[in-house]
A and B are shown apart, each in its own frame.
Chain A
Amino acid sequence: MYFGLSEEQKSLEDNIKKYLDDNASIEIIRSVVEGDLDKANEIHRGLVDLGISSLMVPEEYGGLGLDMLFATVVAGALGYGTAPCPYAGAYVMAPLALSIAGSDKQKEEWLPKIAGGEALIGVGISEYIGARENAGIEFSNDSVSGRCLFVIDGINADAFIVSNKSGELFLIPSDSSGIEIVELTTVDKTRTSIEIIFKNAKAEVLPGSSDNKSAADKVVDAGRLMLSADTVGAAQVMLDKSVAYALERKQFGRLIGSFQAVKHMCAEMAAELEPCHSMVWHAAHCLDNVPEESRLMACHTKAHVSEVGKQISKTATEVHGGMGFTDELGLHYWFKRIGLNRQLLGSPELIREEAAKLQGFDQ
């Protein structure tokens, strides 16, 4: 029995953290957020070179064929470094959707390109979970009409995978006619969100998704785990920075870290966060190996980690005093990242309701 990360997983995590540490300082993140797309592309390329696009692509299609635990490790490291690059949608949910539900032809066409970092696929699955403003799509005559909100990793994508209300997944190249893209601006500008308006856009069904929801569910579960891991990574930075700041800042002639109020804020953050690491690993393991527990674990992980993340993002800001509230310190990048992760693919309340139904509490 061994519960934890393997040496390989740890070294992948270290490599990504180190890369971001060297190449994506707060100043660089700030310039990306303010519109420096070249810088964003450069970071994205560097991360692709480290393997983030090929992790989830099966080996027969030129990928690394790694498991969900690897994928969460990467997500955690990206959250830790507030990496301004696509990941959860383009490199986890999309290849997973293709692998489990795509036709051979769809796989051959897209998976090698994803692995090589030559294709980005945005994922629009929010309406499957809960549609706002009557968004949602209909499929008929081989084409899709309607709207998808909060498509993940959709900016400059080569194609989209979108879902209708019943969990059927559709693949739509972005150069098809009948597609209008509206850029959305969320608080978290380290990642992008778009709305897509389809008017009779040519679409292919992913055949494995057409008569059951299990493909869509698995894609959602995986996405939720990536967002959870991202939040855990981001919250860990916020805690680490809080402790470091408390050991450096003095007031009343002593380190603020010697004030018990501050120590207790830090201890509470640590006590809440530490189990979240284990929970994310555990849920990732279940997704690959324990199908009967995997949906419930993914739901609970996303909901619980979102709550803990929210609390830590608040508390860590408080520990930094006025500095915490400034743009200059940059703590807010993680605050906002945690804020977006919390809502994407279902807020905690929605997901807990789903978890209740999964256990038959409504029967």
Chain B
Amino acid sequence: MDLNYGPEYDDFRTEVKAFVKANEDIKVTGPMRSESRINWQQTLIDHGYFARSIPKEYGGYGGDMDIIKLRIIAEEFAKSPIPKPMGGQGIQMLVPTLLELGTEEQKKEYIKPTLRGEIIWCQGYSEPNSGSDLASLQTKGELINDEWVINGQKIWTSTAQLAQMCFCLVRTEPDAPKHQGISYLLIPMDTPGIDRRPIKQMTGDSDFNELFLTDVKIPATNIVGKRGEGWKVANATLGHERGSLADPNVTLNRLNSLIELMKSETIDGQRVIDKPAFRDRLLSIQGRVLAQQSNALRILSSQINPEQEATLSKFIVKLQGTELRHELEGLAIDVMGEMGTLYEQSPHLRDGGIWQMHYMYYLGLIIGGGTNQIQKNIISERALGMPKEPKVQGA
């Protein structure tokens, strides 16, 4: 056991700290793709604090893949109000996929503007009749005159209302078995025939959408991997998504905010943190956060020391992280009681209504990215070696 990153990293940490300190008051403003956001993103890339290991020719910093340095950057940024780099499905899912499986032209065309935040992507996977059973999807793609002609419907497509591009799963080989008939296509969102309709969520926001695709035509080259290999390509990205949904370090920050809240909220003049029942719930959540942090250290260590195995540790992150986060945000609401139900612009609102927002949002993440029931299937089948569901006749 050695939790030191080693003296060779001390200089690096000093350097990151100095950058963070110098920039903590920077204000990044405007909507996605605003000049201010793109400039800040580029500054972070230029310093190697974002897209660090992505080659220069694709718009990254071009550093070597040093996980400890990435971790130090994440730690120092987390401690400060400095604006964080942009994320999103393009950066988290599409870029790694293209790096792994894209053609040279695709890498050159898409990675740089995606990293810079100039292209927003959406993920067109789910369909009305294909959610957990994603591989049953029916949106159809036919190759006619060197163009894919796409017809069908997608749903729950997050950020589609803002996106310039969509990475989309489409059935192109209708006669092949269901997993082998899918292709991974890249669709410009301004192509004629795409109709987006926002869906309002329980939070009141409308971040996700229905997409109707009617004779949408895109070049034949807008495919990642070969025809019929889309399932494999998509699975490369699903892994990236699952790891990123509930970072225990972010949960720890939320826990610290919860502690502050419990010290400032009072009932009959007594601080909520002094009420034993509430305090016990806080402490048991804190114990769980610490357990997940230890688990994250083990995963980190397995990335640095490839001989170390951590399969199960990785498989449980999405399930455990999203459930814990939902419960943590929910405790804050109980701490505030009636005040905890206030929302939007209400008088007496605490912390901008963020607790209710997150409480609902994390319920969404329990469902999105593969429901937590599906996560349990994955854990039992892939990590514990238990049998798959028997096939039902005709399904």
Asked if B180 CB lies within 8 Å of chain A CBs, one says: no
Q: What is the size category of the interface that chain A forms with chain B? A: 35 or more
Is A362 interfacial (CB-CB < 8 Å)?
A: yes
- Contact string, A198-218, partner B, CB cutoff 8 A, digits 1/0? 000000000000000000000
- Cβ of A237 to closest chain B Cβ, rounded Å: 14
Q: A281–B1 contact, CB under 8 A?
A: yes
* Candidates B286, B320, B376, B381; contact of A355 at CB < 8 Å: B286
| With contact pairs A257-B387, A258-B387, A278-B313 given, residues A271 and B319 touching in the complex (Cβ less than 8 Å) | yes
Name the residue in A247, A260, A278 with the highest tally of chain B Cβ atoms < 10 Å from its Cβ.
A278
Main SS of the interface on chain B? helix
Q: How far is the CA of A304 from the CA of B285 in the complex (A)?
A: 9
4 pairs of A and B residues whose beta carbons are closest in the complex:
A304-B287, A3-B301, A352-B283, A278-B294
Whether A258 pairs with B389 at a CB distance below 8 angstroms is yes
In chain B, positions 367-391 with a C-beta closer than 8 Å to chain A are: 373, 375-377, 379-381, 383-390
A297 and B386 within 8 A (CB): no
Jot down 19 A-B pairs with beta carbons below 8 A, ordered by A. A1-B4, A254-B390, A255-B387, A258-B386, A260-B389, A263-B377, A267-B319, A270-B380, A272-B320, A274-B312, A274-B316, A275-B320, A278-B295, A279-B290, A281-B294, A304-B288, A352-B283, A353-B279, A355-B287
| Interface pair A243/B377, CB less than 8 Å apart | no
Does chain A have a CB within 8 A of B273?
yes
B305 at the A/B interface (Cβ < 8 Å)? yes
Q: Which residue of A lies closest to B319 (CB)?
A: A271
Inter-chain CA distance A352–B283, complex, in Å, is: 6
Complex CA gap A266/B273 in Å reads 35
* B274 partner residues in chain A, CB cutoff 8 A: 361-362
Chain B residues in 8 Å Cβ range of A4: 1, 298, 301-302, 305, 308
Contact B386 A356 (CB under 8 A): no
Which residue of chain B has the shortest Cβ distance to A258 in the bound complex? B387
Residues of the A chain whose Cβ atoms lie less than 8 Å from the Cβ of B386: 243, 246-247, 257-258, 262-263, 266
Q: CA A304 – CA B289 in complex, angstroms?
A: 10
Contact assessment for B290 and A300 in the assembled complex, using a CB-CB cutoff below 8 Å: yes
Interface string of B1-23 (1 = CB under 8 A from A): 11111100000000000000000
Any B CB within 8 A of the CB of A148 = no
12 new A-B contacts, CB < 8 A, other than A4-B301, A281-B294, are: A1-B68, A3-B1, A247-B386, A257-B386, A258-B388, A272-B320, A279-B294, A290-B3, A300-B290, A304-B284, A307-B284, A356-B279
In the complex, residue of chain B having the shortest beta-carbon distance to the beta carbon of A1: B5
B287 & A352 in contact (Cβ 8 Å cutoff): yes
Q: Does A282 contact B (CB under 8 A)?
A: yes
Say if the beta carbon of B354 comes within 8 Å of chain A. Answer: no
* C-alpha spacing A279/B287, complex, angstroms: 10
Cα A270 to Cα B376 in complex, Å, equals 10
CA distance A349 to B294 in the complex (A): 22
**Are A282 and B304 in contact, CB atoms less than 8 angstroms apart?**
no
User: Is A303 in contact with chain B by the CB < 8 A criterion?
Assistant: yes
Say yes or no: B2 contacts A271, CB within 8 Å.
no
Which of A69, A274, A282, A300 meets B313, CB within 8 Å? A274
- B384 near A267 (CB under 8 angstroms)? yes
**Contact residues of B between 261 and 317, Cβ < 8 Å to A:** 262-263, 273-274, 276, 279-280, 282-284, 286-288, 290-295, 297-298, 300-302, 304-305, 308, 312-313, 316
Contacts of B283 in A (CB 8 A): 300, 303, 352-353, 355-356
**A5 lies within 8 A of chain B by Cβ:** yes
On whether the beta carbons of B313 and A275 are closer than 8 Å, the reply is: yes
Chain B residue numbers with a CB within 8 Å of A278 are 291, 294-295, 297-298, 313
* B176-230 contacts to A (CB < 8 Å): none
Residues of chain B contacted by A303 (CB below 8 angstroms): 283-284, 287
* Neighbouring B residues of A361 by C-beta, 8 Å: 259, 262-263, 273-274, 279, 282
Is A189 in contact with chain B by the CB < 8 A criterion? no
Given contacts A258-B389, A270-B383, A274-B313, contact A300 B301 (CB under 8 A): no
Most chain A beta-carbon neighbours within 10 Å: one of B280, B287, B312: B287
CB pair A304–B291 under 8 Å, yes or no, is: yes
From known contacts A2-B304, A297-B290, infer whether A268 and B376 are also in contact, taking CB-CB under 8 Å.
yes
Asked if A3 and B297 sit within 8 Å, CB to CB, the answer is yes
A242-B379 Cα distance, complex, nearest whole Å: 15
Known: A1-B6, A2-B1, A274-B312. A266 touches B384 (CB 8 A): yes
Q: Who on chain A is nearest to B287 by CB?
A: A304
Contacts of B377 in A (CB 8 A): 260, 263-264, 267
B373 nearest in chain A by CB position: A264
- A348 adjacent to chain B (CB < 8 Å): yes
Residue of A nearest to B381 (CB): A263
Q: How far is the CB of A352 from chain B (nearest CB, A)?
A: 4
Contacts of A268 in B (CB 8 A): 376
A292 to B292, CA, bound (A): 20
Q: Which of A257, A275, A362 has the most CB of B within 10 A?
A: A275
Given A270-B384, A274-B313, A303-B287, check contact A1 B3 (CB 8 Å): yes
Residues facing A in B39-54 (CB within 8 A) are none
- With contact pairs A243-B385, A270-B316, A356-B283 given, residues A263 and B390 touching in the complex (Cβ less than 8 Å): no
A89 to B78, CA, bound (A): 41
With A and B bound together, what is the CA distance between A312 and B185 in angstroms?
44
A276 part of interface (Cβ distance < 8 Å)? yes
- Distance in Å from the Cβ of A59 to the closest Cβ of chain B? 20
Q: In the bound complex, what is the Cα–Cα distance between A297 and B149 (angstroms)?
A: 58
- Shortest CB-to-CB span from A248 to chain B, Å, is 12
- With both beta carbons as reference points, the residue of chain A lying nearest to B276 in the complex is identified as A353
Given A247, A271, A290, A359, which contacts B316 in the complex, CB threshold below 8 Å?
A271
Pairwise interchain contact A267-B290, C-beta atoms closer than 8 A: no
- Bound together, the chains give a CA A31 to CA B300 distance in angstroms of 45
In the bound complex, CA of A257 to CA of B381 (Å): 10
| Cα A254 to Cα B284 with chains together (Å) | 39
Residues of B within 8 A of A1 (CB): 2-6, 68, 300-301, 304
Residues of B near A267 (CB, < 8 A) are 319, 375-377, 379-380, 384
Q: Which residues of B contact A284 (CB under 8 A)?
A: 1
Closest to A2 in B: B2
CB distance from B206 to the nearest CB of A (A): 33
Bound Cα distance A362, B68 (Å) = 37
Cβ distance A79 to chain B, nearest Cβ, rounded Å: 18
Which residues does chain B contribute within 8 Å of A285, judged by CB atoms? Answer: 1, 3
Residues of B within 8 A of A263 (CB): 376-377, 380-381, 384, 386
Query: How far in angstroms is the closest Cβ of chain B from A8?
Result: 11
Q: Decide yes or no whether A6 CB sits under 8 A from chain B.
A: yes
A1 to B316, CA, bound (A): 23
With A and B bound together, what is the CA distance between A297 and B6 in angstroms? 23
User: Which of A3, A264, A356 is in CB contact (< 8 Å) with B298?
Assistant: A3
With both beta carbons as reference points, the residue of chain B lying nearest to A297 in the complex is identified as: B290
Alpha-carbon gap, A213 to B390, bound state (A): 60
